[in-house]
Amino acid sequence: MKALRHILMAACAMMAIAAAAQQPDPVITSIRDAYRQAKAGIKQNKSKGNEMVTTMRYTVRGSGLTTDELHFFYVTTEGTYMLNEGDNRDPHFNYYPLNLITRYYNKGAKKYYEEYLFDPESERLLFVLNQGYDDDGNYYERRLYFNGGSVYKVVGTDTSTFDQQVITLQAGELRHAFDNLINNPKE
């Protein structure tokens, strides 16, 4: 009888763990929803000019010609400055909150692809997708989900804390490059 009771308790515990594992993570769900909305917005606004494309070609020693193509997808927001007396700025402005960056590049014959999803309202990084090759030539794919400005979850090929910091820094640099290219006003 005791053995049967232990078996039933173990089965109930396993079922509870399985049920908990099936519950969707609300942070991941909200990021996936934002990603779907960004992709739908890109498709819907394709002809409205909410995309900036920058292509760079340069030579990397040991790898040859490299082409790096960046697509910046943004939304347009109109607003006004609260001007102080004597401020000679135009009180009206257009601001272009960044939503998604896609990056295609190569190193020799190997091709790489990256995506950086930002929340247009808070300007925070939400998601990064990396597809490419490591130093040993092995293909990898990873998804990094962010919450509150730091890595929340990594799916796919694992990364070190240092690599996560580099990815976060690179996302910030691309974001600043966009702001400088499109000349977003900062208050």
**Residue 180 pLDDT exceeds 80:** yes
User: Where does the pLDDT of residue 112 fall: very low under 50, low under 70, confident under 90, or very high at 90 and above?
Assistant: very high
Q: What is the C-alpha to C-alpha distance for residues 91 and 80, in angstroms, rounded to an integer?
A: 5
pLDDT of residue 89: 60
User: How is residue 170 written in tokens?
Assistant: 């690179």
Query: Strands (DSSP E) along 31-171, which ranges?
Result: 51-60, 64-74, 77-80, 92-95, 98-107, 110-118, 125-133, 139-147, 150-156
Does residue 135 form part of some domain? yes
Does residue 31 form part of some domain? yes
User: How is residue 40 written in tokens?
Assistant: 């739908």
Average of per-residue pLDDT across 125-139: 93
Does residue 84 form part of some domain? no
User: Where does the pLDDT of residue 20 fall: very low under 50, low under 70, confident under 90, or very high at 90 and above?
Assistant: low
**Cα–chain center distance at 57:** 24
**Residue 60 pLDDT exceeds 60:** yes
Does residue 100 form part of some domain? yes
**Residue 83 pLDDT exceeds 70:** no
**Boundaries of domain holding 149:** 25-41+57-77+93-187
Whole-number average pLDDT of the chain:
83
User: How many Cα atoms occupy the beta-carbon half-sphere of 140 within 13 Å?
Assistant: 16
Q: What is the C-alpha to C-alpha distance for residues 140 and 138, in angstroms, rounded to an integer?
A: 6
User: How many Cα atoms occupy the beta-carbon half-sphere of 145 within 13 Å?
Assistant: 16
- Residue reference for tokens 């190193």: 107
- Could you give the percent of the chain with pLDDT greater than 90? 47
Does residue 36 form part of some domain? yes
Q: What is the C-alpha to C-alpha distance for residues 149 and 36, in angstroms, rounded to an integer?
A: 20
pLDDT of residue 108: 85
Phi, psi dihedrals of residue 183, rounded to the nearest 5°: 60, 55
pLDDT of residue 92: 61
Q: What is the C-alpha to C-alpha distance for residues 168 and 127, in angstroms, rounded to an integer?
A: 10
User: Where does the pLDDT of residue 118 fall: very low under 50, low under 70, confident under 90, or very high at 90 and above?
Assistant: very high
User: How is residue 50 written in tokens?
Assistant: 């909410």
Do the Cβ atoms of 145 and 31 come closer than 8 Å? yes
Q: What is the C-alpha to C-alpha distance for residues 79 and 121, in angstroms, rounded to an integer?
A: 14
Does residue 139 form part of some domain? yes
CA angle 140/28/112 to nearest 5° reads: 25
Does residue 174 form part of some domain? yes
- Among 118, 123, 115, 121, smallest CA distance to 141 is for 115
How many structural domains compose the chain?
Answer: 1
Does residue 19 form part of some domain? no
